[in-house]
Homo-oligomer: A and B are copies of this chain.
Amino acid sequence: MSGSTFGKLFRVTTWGESHGAAIGAVVDGCPAGLSLCEADIQEYLNRRKPGQSRYTTKRQETDQAEILSGVFEGKTTGTPISIIVRNQDQRSRDYGNIAYTYRPGHADYTFTQKYGFRDYRGGGRSSGRETIGRVAAGAVASLLLKEMGISLTAYTKSVGPVTVPSDAYHFDEITENTLYMPNNQAAKEAAGHLDLLMKNQDSCGGTVECMVDGLPVGLGEPVFDKLDASLAKALMSIGAVKAVEIGDGISAAASSGSRNNDAFAVRDDRIIKETNHSGGTLGGMSDGSTLLVRASFKPTPSISQIQHTVTEEKEETELSIHGRHDPIIVPRAVVVVEAMTALTIADLLLENMSSRLDKVKAYYTED
């Protein structure tokens, strides 16, 4: 009954429904002294804004972020940062049978069963617009990580059957195609696949990957709040995600110890791993190599094809969902995956500070 808060020290609480007055987030626990302004947050929000390509909903939203607290003279004060985004496009409309019919693949049925009724306007809290709060908060976390020399890169690894293999990544191409794929050629293929699906009134899924560089060794709290475990929760909590992988992920299961183990070596007096099958974690803690996480998204459930379903009154019926829906949500979810990854790391970065007595003592004695 209170699942809208994420994190222990760097803690975000999100709120808001698709067609309510606004959507927002409260970030509590951000260290004081971080430079932050509304434009910083806007930059992240713009990456998930609708209407940017023919594959995203045409809903018109400016999604303008306003900071209401926690910042003074351009810097965070250590008090909660409240960020709000007003909903612009609350078109009054007749939801008709949608209000009483359970859309397949949506949360209509479970919300109604759990809470007794639901805000049926545009999916309410289960709408993709819910992620605005995540992205706004993630922007703050990302800025904090940047100050620590930690950088995140997220992109679309696959669209339906079109996958970019790891050895074909061109990171500079990510922003050159509207699908945020690290390979323009693959993006072109994927676009073709999407065009076909749209013609068939169908939709598809895909995979988002996020790489994190610059992590200190040791982030993650064994045995339950490990880095990989916390990331798994963070990413699986995004609507439509059905799988989370770290490093080699599911393919590790079919590997052997001799192939999967990453040998340690010394380079420039630093301990490194010669390979990175583990994806940057060992024992659930960051191991100093690149962190690699991957989330698989199911196809957008809203399709115009006629579907079989039932009403709240337990009557079987046919349903065709028209209106503003992305044939694929993956490109807009890239920044959401990045945001959730940033939030997870920021939280564990702060918690890790208390792991050693010598460091705790040093913290309090130096001045």
Contacts and interface: CB of A to CB of B under 8 A. Distances in A.
A106 B314 CA distance: 52
B254 A205 contact: yes
Contacts of A114: 32, 78, 217-218, 285, 352, 355-356
A358 interface: yes
A196 to B, nearest CB: 10
Nearest to A144: B357
Nearest to A325: B257
Nearest to A77: B119
Contacts of A353: 350, 353-354, 360, 363
A287 interface: yes
A125 interface: yes
Given A114-B217, A303-B257, A239 B206 contact: no
A3 B9 CA distance: 9
A253 B301 contact: no
A346 to B, nearest CB: 10
Given A104-B263, A124-B79, A261-B105, A255 B298 contact: yes
Contact of A115 (B24, B78, B274): B78
A34 B357 contact: yes
Q: How large is the interface on A (under 10, 10 to 19, 20 to 34, 35 or more residues)?
A: 35 or more
A310 B271 contact: yes
Interface stretch (A51-59, A171-179, A230-238): A230-238
A351 B352 CA distance: 10
Interface stretch (A41-49, A90-98, A240-248): A240-248
B3 A33 contact: no
Contacts of A233: 224, 229-230, 232-233, 236
A332 interface: no
A247 B245 CA distance: 15
Contact of A264 (B202, B232, B264, B309): B309
A83 to B, nearest CB: 10
B364 A354 contact: no
A253 B5 contact: no
Interface string A7-37: 1111101111100111110101111111000
A358 to B, nearest CB: 6
Given A1-B354, A287-B110, A355-B78, A242 B248 contact: yes
A348 to B, nearest CB: 9
B1 A26 contact: no
Contact of A282 (B109, B115, B228, B236): B109
B243 A243 contact: yes
Contact of A284 (B11, B207, B239, B279): B239
Max chain B CB contacts within 10 Å: which of A144, A242, A360?
Answer: A242
Nearest to A353: B353
Max chain B CB contacts within 10 Å: which of A16, A28, A223, A359?
Answer: A223
A226 B237 contact: yes
Contacts of A8: 2, 8
Contact of A82 (B24, B28, B204, B256): B24
A-B pairs with lowest CB-CB distance, top 7: A107-B283, A3-B221, A2-B29, A114-B218, A3-B225, A203-B257, A233-B233
Given A160-B253, A245-B296, 8 more contacts: A1-B31, A3-B224, A5-B28, A77-B115, A110-B281, A229-B236, A257-B303, A269-B314
